[in-house]
A and B are shown apart, each in its own frame.
Chain A
Amino acid sequence: MPETTTLTETKTDVATQPPWNVIVHDDPVNLMGYVTYVLMKIFGYNEKYATTLMLQVHQQGLSIVWSGELEKAEFYVQQLQFHQLKTSIEQAE
């Protein structure tokens, strides 16, 4: 009787979820320099990039300051709220 060999091939199908956006909203209280400081502190952004995001918040009313997986997004929103920035989270479409 001939020996038979069975080859098994596994295919993994990963469904990609849309990322979650961390959004900072403008408010009339938080100082521009403070918003820049907080973005640098929490995300490790350099001053130039943090300032760009801060100006987006100031001029456009909001800015998506980070996008990615839910768990990290929740962590960042929590940190931003601890620093009293008006922050929300939503899943990108």
Chain B
Amino acid sequence: MKIAPTLEGGLRIDPETAGDWHILRAIILDANGYETDLASRLGGLVTDERIAEDWQDIVVPDLRESFTDDLHRIYAAIEAAAAFPKDGENPIWITREDALTWYSALNQARLALEEKYRFGQDPESDPANLSTVRQEALLRSQFYCALQSFILSHSL
């Protein structure tokens, strides 16, 4: 996979192998892969009894809708690129306007992976000692993090 900045302040992603498409599609799967969704986890941090009920009823559904919209847009961008190659290439364009949506989707995926596997609690752990499933999840999380860093430095 090649990732390069564009002159307009965006990024171009060129998936080259089936594995590249697999990891891009995994963004959505990973983001939805934890039992409690992100909106509920964030909403649960508001515990003051004078606020908490309204927060659950009003803010959490808005958060959920916003996060889901972001994932839908990224899913559509990936599948559109996969379905309609141009001159034998399937570039995925992240424009400056799309940058925060992409960042959000990648962040949702990393937050869900962290909840599930708790990589952050043992940052020194040797990936070689992890099970295959955890190893693959860690690699995906690291890829998402690298892409987020590109977005942060070039597009936000």
Contacts and interface: CB of A to CB of B under 8 A. Distances in A.
B28 interface: no
Given A29-B110, A34-B152, A87 B51 contact: no
A77 B46 contact: yes
Nearest to B100: A83
A84 B51 contact: no
Interface in B119-149: 119-121, 123, 145, 148-149
Interface string B15-54: 0000000000000000000000010001101111001000
A53 to B, nearest CB: 17
A66 to B, nearest CB: 15
By secondary structure, the B interface counts as helix
A35 B6 CA distance: 24
B57 to A, nearest CB: 13
Interface size range of chain B in the complex: 20 to 34
B103 interface: yes
B56 interface: no
Contact of A31 (B63, B67, B119, B148): B148
B45 A84 contact: no
B78 interface: no
B46 to A, nearest CB: 6
A24 to B, nearest CB: 10
A86 to B, nearest CB: 6
Contact of A82 (B45, B48, B66, B110): B66
Q: Which of B46, B121, B148 has the most CB of A within 10 A?
A: B46
A28 B45 contact: no
Nearest to B58: A78
Contacts of B66: 82
A34 B46 contact: no
B42 A86 contact: yes
17 contacts: A27-B120, A28-B114, A28-B120, A28-B123, A29-B107, A31-B145, A31-B148, A34-B156, A70-B51, A74-B51, A81-B45, A81-B63, A84-B104, A87-B42, A88-B47, A89-B46, A89-B51
Given A29-B114, A78-B62, A84-B107, 13 more contacts: A27-B114, A29-B110, A29-B120, A31-B148, A33-B153, A34-B152, A81-B59, A82-B63, A84-B42, A87-B42, A88-B47, A89-B48, A90-B48
